[in-house]
Structure 1
Amino acid sequence: MRPSSTAPDRPSPARVRALYAMLTLVMLLWAGNSMVARAVHAEIPPFALALGRWAGALLVVAPFAWRRVIADWPVVRQHWGKILLLGLIGIGAFNALLYSGLRYTTATNGLLIQAAIPALVLCFDGLLFKARPRAAQIAGVSIAAIGVLTIILKADPAALLSLSFNIGDVLVLCAVLAWSLYTALLRLRPPIDPLSFLALTFAIGVLAMLPFAIAELRSFPLHFTPRVLGAYAYVAVLPSVVAYFLYNKAVSELGAGAAGQVISLQPLFGALLAVPLLGEALHGYHLAGMAIILAGILIPAMAGRRSRQATASP
């Protein structure tokens, strides 16, 4: 499998910093998405939540994107298979599996499983596109994983013995595999406007979720309370329209491996958000884990910066 277009020029150092800042915001928004999904799991069934998310996101994007979709239509027709694949994996499968898993598993297990994403992105990138990760990337993934485990296990390795897994964990693991594959496959994104790509993949997500949501709502009636409406508003706009636009842009410029490394920030932000939203306390092991995660992200970023400087020097 080969990418459909040549690799972009290396971004400038200032642009790289901006892209990493964008990815940091994305991870904060996605950490919030997981918390909202877990918070309303008893009020909104998973496929109905996913359907509302993508239908709402499509309504937000459509007024700005429809002219661009029309202009891009010849390219869309030529590459419809790639767009359908990316939409089904990154919009449909990932969200359906994640929301379904969060109905049954604990936040701790969910964080533990999602910590595998950066390593899986490197694996898929290597298997599909023969991309060789740099030593600094491998080191960064390993260090960040240690930081995630520090938070999840509360700096106590013996806590591994008390972890238990269920069907929810299997579903989250499948979601993690889908997202890692989507990140690697973004190399195949056809040369169309980013808003066109968002609108088309969001529409695919709506169509994919619709039959499952209809079947689900027959036995799980939805009550549109302010809490439910607020959850839909959040997941439709911030983790969807804003976060997907920024993430797709960053992956296209930085590459899947570099962008995937920042996903280690999600458990960090999850721990921070749990303090004001769930009333959980911030402990020393949180701070230690956060420091290790940041080190794991900064090591490959700094190594890449030195590599770019060496390449640019005469």
Structure 2
Amino acid sequence: MEPNLNLQEINVIKEKAIEMAFEFGPVLLKAIILLVIGRQVIKFLTRLLSNALEKYEIDPSLSTFFKSFLSAVLWVVLLISVATTLGMQMASFVAILGAAGLAVGLALQGSLSNFAGGVLILVFKPFRVGDTIETQGQLGSVESIDILYTKIRIFDNRVVTVPNGALANNMIINLSQKPTRRVEMKVGVAYGTNLKKTRQVILDTLKKDERIHEDPAPVVYFTNFGDSSLDLTIRCWVDAADLWPVYWDNMEAINEAFEANDITIPFPQRDVHHFYPEGKK
């Protein structure tokens, strides 16, 4: 009798399984279809928003942020819809989501700080995508501003990912915000050099460079009596993009002009005085 009883139990379990399959199978299939279609809809809406932002020439910083935010919101809506389709009560799901959100919020305080920092960056715009900035000991070009992080490409082509919270709460030097920049060069000439002649030689050299602005005009100041030289500071204004090329080119041109006009750039030197005791050579 025992084998027959086991067979009966197996048949009951099989019938229950078939019954549950017919009962929950369509619901599960519907949820899977909803998840697949919803995923494609999210991609479509994100792409649609991207095209709209590009069409109306919205700031790339805002564009990246809006796309990331829209994608996150749509995924939350999709997951709620899938859970509801599977038979989970909305009130229960919201309660679970709220409790989970509180736990996640406590665990991810840093991420929430980064999110708030990203919002502040986009609202107050201390920098934008494409700007060259200096922050957190890094100098480079801003590649993207996402929900939580900002990516900066430094000049050796490495990409540094900086949390938005750190950026929003620390000093940022924006090198691209203004259209013009001041170039500052320092040179030293030997003691006894005619400073008026030297100043004129430098100004004549700078006039040959069309990238240097005439207003404000270039200036040359005598700034210090150095240990071995008379120190001069040269200042001129250029377009922001020309700053370093103008600096490098004119430092070389000034050196050549000094050589042509017999103006000496001294080496560091010291005078040593040796005193002998009386009666000794």
Give the TM-score, by structure 1 length. 0.21
- Between Structure 1 and Structure 2, the one with more strand by share is 2
Identify the structure with bigger relative contact order (alpha carbons < 8 Å, sequence gap 6+). 1
Give the TM-score, by structure 2 length. 0.22
- Between Structure 1 and Structure 2, the one with more helix by share is 1
